Amino acid sequence: MSVPDIVDQPAIRSDEDGMIQALAWAAKGMFTTTPNPRVGCVIVRDGRVIAAGFTQPAGQAHAEADALRTAARDGVDVRGATAYVTLEPCSHQGRTPPCADALIAAGIGRVVAAIADPNPLVAGRGLEKLRAAGIDTRCDVLTDAAREINIGFFSRMAHGIPWVRMKSAASLDGKTALHDGRSQWITSAPARADGHAWRARACAILTGIGTVVEDDPQMTVREVATPRQPQRIVIDSRLQIAPEARVLTGGGTLIVAAESQPEKEAILRAAGCEVLILPNAHGKVDLAALLRELGRRGINELHVEAGAKLNGSLVREDCVDELLLYLAPTLLGDARGMFELVAPASLDAARRLAFHALEQIGPDLRILARFT
């Protein structure tokens, strides 16, 4: 931790103050920790942060170890101090040693965790290990904020699938493009940059073959700085994608199809792509099975940017957790919509969402709404 980081910290007068600082450190790993959760740790003595850290890329130090390492580097004595951690310290040996053991060995006097770790390998055992070593512990401080920053990790641990966020940019009357496909740009530059920040935090970005054929998107993060690019995924039931499609540039793209075509698959694999065949009973891609496979691969957050047809299929099959909508203050009238969905038989049968957050971004409105 650099000297400015220490100097700029406000006084810690409560556990909530300490956790606010730990959450700020957790946010430093927003784009880099996958598949691990984003965790921050601050170590406090006499109301002052004396060391801090956050989870490094997979296989490297967790937040607690990162904070202890910086303390040792700077010659800071942490014995008897309080550690504020945004997720329960782990108690098992993974690619790194248990963080609970590191805190015990360092002589930390008290540990405050924002929320228990949903990983079945931990699930309270980290706090139990700390208590058994005589360390005073507290849990459930700013729990909602701690869950939000790791909402995908909690989804994967609890359900085996990623948190699915579907993004769309539209006019105020819900139209995403003119009938000829023109859509650049319905929303403003600030809204587009904000959308790329949401892309950057995701583990993977998913689109459909319709969008690839019509728009030839790159599906990369470009409007904001990021140390990594999310995994790109294309739903392409009949393997129609052209080898020169920009979404394949650089390799690593996952193509999900419903039928095997060995010659096309060989071409795509030669371009550095992976082809996954996941058919459902109707000859389409099994979307629920895909989510389970992505969860198995450690994908915490899946960001969807697709057309109305795939959007509708994902919503209809209950594969979406929340909508990220950017609405421009314009009206497009009889144009393309966001979803292809059959109208419900009654208003009572309509799909319900709850507004989670609303914010104006430039001239546009950003809505985060979650399915109930």
Tell me 242's DSSP state.
Answer: -
**Helices 99-106 and 63-73, packing angle to 10 deg:** 30
Report the half-sphere exposure of 102 (CA within 13 A, side-chain side). Answer: 22
| Residue tagged 């994902």 (tokens) | 314
Q: How far apart are the first and last CA of the chain?
A: 41
Catalytic residues, by residue number, are: 64
- CB-based contacts of 18, cutoff 8 Å, min separation 6: 12, 42, 44, 82, 84, 112
Structure tokens at 156: 């994967």
Report whether 241 contacts 217 (CB < 8 A): no
CA dihedral 336, 347, 316, 206 (to 10 degrees): 50
Report whether 364 contacts 195 (CB < 8 A): no
Residue 301 sits at φ, ψ, to 5 deg, of -125, 125
Q: Which of 31, 17, 367, 351 is nearest to 170 (CA)?
A: 367
Report whether 299 contacts 162 (CB < 8 A): yes
Contacts 24+ apart (CB under 8 A), 257-264: 257/285, 258/283, 258/284, 258/285, 258/286, 259/283, 264/239
Residue 218, strand partner residues: none
Query: What 3-state DSSP class applies to 204?
Result: strand
Cα(169)–Cα(187) distance, rounded to whole angstroms? 7
| Residue tagged 């895909």 (tokens) | 290
Query: What 3-state DSSP class applies to 340?
Result: coil
